[in-house]
Amino acid sequence: MKQIALLLFIAATLISCGSDDDDTSTTNPILGCTDETSLNYNPNATDDDDSCQYPNLTFKFTQNWDGDNITAQGFGNFDYANENGEVLSLLKLRYLISKIILHKENGESITFEGYNLIDLSDINTLLFNTETDVPLGDYSSLTFVFGFDEQDNITNEYLDLNSSSWNWPQQLGGGYHFMQMEGNWIDSNGDIQPYAYHNGTAKVSDGVYEQNFISVELPGFTITNNAEIEIKMNIAEWYKNPNTWKLFEMSTNLMGNYDAQIKMNQNGQNVFSLGEITQ
Backbone phi, then psi, for 100, in 5-degree steps?
-80, 130
Task: Provide, rounded to whole angstroms, the least separation between the CB of residue 178 and another protein.
Answer: 15
188 is a site residue for another protein (CB under 8 A): no
162 is a site residue for another protein (CB under 8 A): yes
CB of 120 or CB of 254, closer to another protein:
254
CB of 174 or CB of 220, closer to another protein:
174
Number of amino acids touching another protein (CB under 8 A): 31
Query: What are the residues facing 186 on neighbouring strands?
Result: 192
75 is a site residue for another protein (CB under 8 A): yes
Binders of another protein among 253-272, rule CB under 8 A?
A: 253-256
The one segment of 79-87, 123-131, 208-216, 252-260 that binds another protein by CB under 8 A: 252-260
Q: What character string, x for contact with another protein (CB under 8 A) and - otherwise, covers 196-225?
A: x-x---------------------------
249 is a site residue for another protein (CB under 8 A): no
Of 142, 135, 134, 147, the residue nearest 174 (C-alpha): 147
> Which residue among 44, 106, 124, 163 contacts another protein (CB under 8 A)?
163
> How does DSSP assign 98-163, residue by residue?
EEEEEE-TTS-EEEEEEEEEEETT-GGGGEEE------SEEEEEEEEEES--TTT--TT--HHHHH
CB of 38 or CB of 251, closer to another protein:
251
Distance separating alpha carbons of residues 243 and 271, to the nearest angstrom: 13
171 is a site residue for another protein (CB under 8 A): yes
* Cβ–Cβ under 8 Å, residues 268 and 199: yes
Identify the burial level of 21 via C-beta atoms within 10 angstroms of its C-beta, where 0-12 means exposed, 13-18 middle and 19 or more buried.
exposed
> Which residue among 115, 183, 223, 268 contacts another protein (CB under 8 A)?
183
* Cβ–Cβ under 8 Å, residues 78 and 121: no
* Cβ–Cβ under 8 Å, residues 115 and 96: yes
The one segment of 31-39, 130-138, 193-201, 202-210 that binds another protein by CB under 8 A: 193-201
Give contact residues for another protein (rule: CB under 8 A).
75-76, 91-92, 155-156, 159-160, 162-165, 167, 169-171, 180, 182-184, 191-192, 194-196, 198, 252-256
